[in-house]
Amino acid sequence: MSRLHGTKDFWIGALRMEGPAFAAAVAEAPAETPVLSCPGWTVADLTLHLARIYHWVHSFAGSGATTRPTGRPADVDLPAGATPLQLWQHGYDQLMNLFDGLDPEAPAWNWAPQPKKAGFWPRRMAHETAIHRWDAQLAIAAGEPVEAKLAADGVSEVLDTWLPAGRRRTPGQWHGVVQLTATDAAQEWYLRLRGQGVALLDTATIFDHDDHHARAQVAATASDLELALWGRVSFDTLAVTGDRTLLDGLRTS
């Protein structure tokens, strides 16, 4: 498996592309426009959600502390008297200024089972923004795919960060190996599901004797794979062979 090794510059570049695209979509939609991919949300809700996440991450990502910050994004109090898009823009600008000078090796808390380093957050915010940019564009019937290299890294993020952290959309027990192939990024992933546990495998790994053949295979563009993992598109719309029930164990939220 030739997994992408992203860099801070790669993720900041993605944010510079996805952030303005998000803002443009929001500016085009009335605030009360429903976001079909986030049931119950309007474009205003989506914009404030992302603004709160930006402000929350900005509050600790550059502090050098690895202790869990107090509160959650939903608890962030945003300044009064501004529109949702203005609040988003303020949060985005603050975050980009922080990330530009951030040492990715500096200590920083994150919620994943991996080193507590600041480089986690440019990656996380790049994918958070890309997915919600797609949501905002869908609200105006203009959903563009996620760029292939960024989407491939987004697939890796779900498999190496979200699922190992226990952040599945639906709890359950799954057993077997799933193979995902990004047809436009020359990249593939093998994921072993063991009950509630998961293990991302390298293709050079010597499989053990337990059910070593992939029981489900999915081939699609990197963007469609990432969007399927996030529940934005259905796996049923992709090229799937084998045991489709295993795919329920890959969705995150």
Give domain limits for the chain. Answer: 8-144, 149-250
DSSP string covering the chain: -------HHHHHHHHHHHHHHHHHHHHHS-TT-B-TTSTT-BHHHHHHHHHHHHHHHHTTTTS---SPPSS-GGGPPPPTTS-HHHHHHHHHHHHHHHHHT--TTSB---SSSS--BTTHHHHHHHHHHHHHHHHHHHHTT--PPPPHHHHHHHHHHIIIIITTTT-BSS---EEEEEEEEETTTTEEEEEEEEETEEEEEPTTS---SSS-SEEEEEEE-HHHHHHHHTTSS-GGGSEEEE-GGGGGGG-B-
Q: 171 falls in which pLDDT band (50, 70, 90)?
A: confident
Shared fold status for 8-144 and 149-250: no
CATH number of 8-144: 1.20.120.450
Tokens, residue 7:
């860099």
Question: If you average pLDDT over residues 200-204, what whole number do you get?
Answer: 72
Q: Is the pLDDT of residue 228 over 50?
A: yes
Topology at the third CATH level for domain 149-250: Nonspecific Lipid-transfer Protein; Chain A (3.30.1050)
Task: Please tell me the pTM assigned to this model.
Answer: 0.94
Reported as a pLDDT band with limits 50, 70 and 90, residue 5 is low
**pLDDT 10s digits, 53-82:** 999 999 999 999 999 998 999 999 998 899
Q: In this prediction, what percent of the chain has a pLDDT beyond 70?
A: 94
Q: What is the mean pLDDT of residues 138-148?
A: 95
Whether the per-residue pLDDT at 203 is higher than 80: the answer is: no
pLDDT tens readout for residues 15-53: 999 999 999 999 999 999 999 999 999 999 999 999 999
pLDDT at residue 1, rounded to an integer: 39
